Amino acid sequence: MAHAKLGPSSSSRWMNCPGSVRISEGIKEKSSPYAEEGTKAHVLSELMFENLDPEEWEGYDEEMTIEVRKYVDYVMAHMTNPNCVLYTEVKVNLNKYIPDGFGTSDNVIVDWDNKTLHVFDLKYGKGVKVWATKNSQGRIYAIGSLLEFDGDKEIKNIVIHIGQPRLNHFHSEELTTKELLDYAKIVKKAAKATEDPNAPAIPGELQCRWCKASPECKALRDFTNKTIGDEFENLDAEILDKWELSEILFHKKLIEKFLKDVEERVTEYLIEGIDVPGFQTSYSKTNRKWGDDAEEFLIKKLGKDAWQKSLITLGKAEKLLGKEIVEEHTVKPQGKIIAIKMK
């Protein structure tokens, strides 16, 4: 699938770090099981919106079907009157605000009775909750959808929805058309900034998170070095004070991600046969597990003692019985005390 250089899905990166576009050129995208799973979930949702039987699909997955059905039901719940029109996989042209910009809105509902445009984004991942409020990706999809469907300038309100069915998380943001078009001007300015050959790289947790150039980014390296060293005022002190400790911990996620990305890139070089001073390949530690003949061996030696009974997992029980009823019979132990960022 082709992606725009300044695509909606990477907007949190290039809008906050214009230099990342230049730095990322020539670095190939890496696929992941999570991305492939997300693509599969989107295909499944298309089948459901077309009222096709998911079980007849060659990639049928019962668990995924249950989860994606939640998203489909959420979208359909917004078809509130006969003059609502549903569109699926809407190709949007963003050239008016982003040079060579394009994208695909997962689902769009135009509610002509209420002069409202609903734009939906399915996110199948369950690692982090994503919120619709001030979400640049959702807003850019909405801009493209508005350009696509509102040639006569009738739409007054925009509602951007993000659905994460595996987290039972559905969130929306409502804007007036004017507010969205004002934001479009910000997008246009940000896109223009990336064209500057000297556009700065500006490290930050949001923009660095999915940046494929983060291991090679000197700006991120310098930021990391400054945070954990050069910024401290009292370099003669043997013990860091609370302010210095706070500065390091405040940027914990960004620093940890940078080090993880560097380690992965060095590993890639070594696997490709490229020497990296001071490093060599090895195998990570793993735990032992039973071999294919273990069941037969243990039953022969131990009989019924080869098996032990245990309760099914909470997740499996929720799928069989429903989350609310299972919740009545669960406890959540208190975690250990940790330091977190103030909101």
In this structure, the chain runs to a length of: 343
Q: With contact defined as beta carbons under 8 Å apart, do 295 and 245 qualify? A: no
* Residue bearing the bigger pLDDT, 140 or 318: 140
Q: Is the pLDDT of residue 244 over 70?
A: yes
Encode 223-238: b = buried (16+ Cβ within 10 Å), e = exposed.
bbeebeeeebeeeeee
pLDDT at 44: 94
Element spanning 263, H or E: helix 252-271
User: Which domains, ranges and CATH numbers included, belong to the chain?
Assistant: 8-193 (3.90.320), 213-271 (no CATH)
For the residues 16-23, what does the mean pLDDT come to? Answer: 94
Q: What is the pLDDT of residue 331?
A: 87
This prediction has a pTM of 0.76
CA distances from 40 to 54, 59, 230, 297 (A): 12, 8, 46, 39
**Cβ–Cβ < 8 Å for 84, 109:** yes
Predicted local distance difference test score (pLDDT) of residue 205: 87
Across the chain, mean pLDDT equals 89
Q: What single-letter amino acid sits at 278?
A: G
